[in-house]
Structure 1
Amino acid sequence: MKVAVLSPVAWRTPPRHYGPWEQIASNLTEGLAKKGIEVTLFATGDSQTAGRLDAVIPKGYEEDRSLDAKVVECLHISNLMEKATSFDLIHNHFDFLPLSYSHLIPTPVVTTIHGFSSDKIIPVYKKYNKTGHYVSISNSDRHPDLRYAATVYNGLNTDEFSFNEHSDGYLLFFGRIHPHKGTAEAIRIALQSKKKLLIAGIVQDEGYFKRDVEPYLNDQIIFLGSKGPKERNELLGKAAALLHPISFDEPFGLSVAEAMLCGTPVIAFNRGSMPELIQDQATGFLVNNEQEAIRAVDQLHYLERKACRDWSVSKFSTEKMVDDYLKLYHKILKV
Structure 2
Amino acid sequence: MRIAQVAPLYEAIPPHAYGATERVIHYLTEQLVRLGHHVTLFATADSSTSAELVPLCPRGLWRDANVWDTLTHHVRELEAVAQRAARFDVIHFHGDPLHFPLARRLNCAHVTTMHGQLLPVDHGPLFREFSEAPLISISDDQRRPVPEANWQATIHHGLRPDALALNESPDDYLLFLGRLMPQKRPDLAIEIARRARLPLKMATKVHPGETGYFREQILPLLEASEHFVDYLGEVGGTQRIELLANARALLFPVQWPEPFGMVIIEAMASGTPTIAFRCGAIPEIVEDGVTGFIVDDVDGAVRAIDRIDELSRVRCRERFESRFTSARMAADYLSVYERLLAPRAANDQIRELPRRRHR
In structure 2, the residue matched to 1:47 is 47
- Pick aligned residue for 2:129 from 127, 130, 143: 127
Consecutive unaligned residues in structure 2, runs of 5 or more: 346-359
In structure 1, the residue matched to 2:159 is 156
- Quick check: which has more Rg, 1 or 2? 2
Q: What are the equivalent positions in structure 2 for 1:1-335 lying under 5 Å apart?
A: 1-67=1-67, 68-116=69-117, 118=119, 119-130=121-132, 132-142=133-143, 143-204=146-207, 205-217=210-222, 218-334=226-342
Deviation, structure 1 residue 278: 0.7
Distance in 2 between residues matched to 1:292 and 1:103, nearest whole Å: 48
RMSD, aligned CA: 1.3
Distance in 1 between residues matched to 2:89 and 2:336, nearest whole Å: 13
Q: 1:282 to 1:150 in 2, by over 3 A?
A: same
Distance in 1 between residues matched to 2:19 and 2:82, nearest whole Å: 23
Deviation, structure 1 residue 117: 5.9
Deviation, structure 1 residue 115: 1.8
The farther-off stretch of 233-242 and 209-218 is: 209-218
Distance in 1 between residues matched to 2:154 and 2:78, nearest whole Å: 24
TM-score (norm 2): 0.90
Distance in 2 between residues matched to 1:125 and 1:111, nearest whole Å: 12
Deviation, structure 1 residue 327: 1.1
Q: 1:117 to 1:134 in 2, by over 3 A?
A: closer
**AA matched with 2:78:** I
Aligned residues: 334
Distance in 1 between residues matched to 2:126 and 2:86, nearest whole Å: 23
Q: Which has the higher helix share?
A: 2
Which digits, 9 at most, give the CA deviation of each residue in 1:9-58, with x for residues without a partner?
Answer: 01111110112211111111111000000010011111111010012322
Would you say the 8 A contact 1:95–1:111 is kept in 2?
no
**AA matched with 2:128:** K
**AA matched with 1:277:** I
Which digits, 9 at most, give the CA deviation of each residue in 1:269-309, with x for residues without a partner?
Answer: 01111101111011110000000001001010111111111
Which digits, 9 at most, give the CA deviation of each residue in 1:58-77, with x for residues without a partner?
Answer: 22211113223111111011
SS at match of 2:152: strand
Would you say the 8 A contact 1:237–1:262 is kept in 2?
yes
Would you say the 8 A contact 2:117–2:257 is kept in 1?
no
SS at match of 1:129: coil
Distance in 1 between residues matched to 2:159 and 2:127, nearest whole Å: 27
SS at match of 1:65: coil
The farther-off stretch of 217-226 and 189-198 is: 217-226
Which digits, 9 at most, give the CA deviation of each residue in 1:66-97, with x for residues without a partner?
Answer: 22311111101111022111111000013211
Which digits, 9 at most, give the CA deviation of each residue in 1:142-184, with x for residues without a partner?
Answer: 1223121111111112211110001111000011111111100
**AA matched with 1:82:** Q
**AA matched with 1:301:** D
Distance in 1 between residues matched to 2:177 and 2:305, nearest whole Å: 17
